[in-house]
Amino acid sequence: MHGAGNATTIYPLTFEPVFRDYIWGGRRLETLLGRPLPPGIVAESWDISGHPDSPTRVATGHWKGRTLPEVMAALGADLVGSHSSEMLARGRFPLLIKLLDANQDLSVQVHPDDAYAARHERGEIGKSEMWYVLHADPGYTLVHGVKPGVTRRQLRQAIASDRVDEVLSRVPVSPGDTIDVPAGTVHALLAGAVVAEIQQNSDVTYRLYDWARVGSDGKSRPLHIDRALDVIDFSRAATGPVPPQNLTETDALRRQLLVRRPQFTTERLIMAPGATFSGRCDGSTFEIWGCVEGACRVTWAGTPVDLAAVQFVLLPAALGAFAVSAEGPSTLLRIYI
């Protein structure tokens, strides 16, 4: 599939978010981040989504009102780039960008890798992800892995005897931390955090334990213990927050590597007022930029796009030269394949 882009159809894409109301959510996407929310519980905001369950619609310009899968079908490689040819052939946008409000503990869960999901989930893709912590209550910890030496048998016994907490590794995190959650990692966001989640475009989740709670229908949510135990990587030690690696540093701009893997790379840019990063989408990959603190402006050959915290923009692979300028002290995430 080849792209059919031109100056009218290739431009930075912003989207109308889609909200999800899982039982563990709250209202902090509104109270902390200023998002207008529908009434009731809001657990997740899917900000850039090509997932068939909740695709996001373009907010402005030529593609306004069209879903991300529709734009991808029309633009092809001009949208996603040559590095995502396999996902393009599947008709699936590679990544999914969410905000999560953990007002209660999330279930203890694990995601499969691509190979396991292809075999056991009707050809679905796996789910590696990362969290960037936007807010964490004082003293906050989350579940990241199992304790060193815990075996599959010990974990199964702990689940059966309701002692799961004794074998889980808890790590403290603070705002600005990055938690890497590759497929096969046991994990749970616990009550008291708001995070941005960058993940493969998959919703395959195996729930190990749900704190003995019931849903709004009065029933326990289903567990997937056998499949979870199949995919857990017991050799991977929990490492806690990822130490950022400095890539470039000037007085005005510090660029850091947070996560690099085949599925996606995420950088953080810490920018002084007026600082500018110049880039180019050369056809190899799209870029997603997220303003997580402050405010910035994305300029290219057309109308500039202004982002405030917390907002994301998708730059098509065929966009060409662009620049990102900080309006005040700002922190940005840059995501690409």
- State the catalytic residues: 207
The one-letter amino acid at 2? H
Torsion, CA 86, CA 84, CA 311, CA 14, rounded to 10:
-90
Asked if 197 and 191 touch (Cβ cutoff 8 Å), the reply is no
In the block, tokens 């909200």 appear at 19
How far, in Å, CA of 154 to CA of 220, rounded? 23
Residue 270's DSSP bridge partners are 254, 331
What's the per-residue H, E or C state across 19-81?
EECCCCCECHHHHCCCCCCCCCCECEEEEECCCCCCCCEECCCCCCCCEHHHHHHHHCHHHHC
DSSP secondary structure code for residue 87 in this structure:
H
Q: Output DSSP code: residue 327.
A: S
Q: Which stretches of the chain are DSSP H helices?
A: 28-31, 68-75, 77-80, 85-90, 114-120, 152-160, 225-231
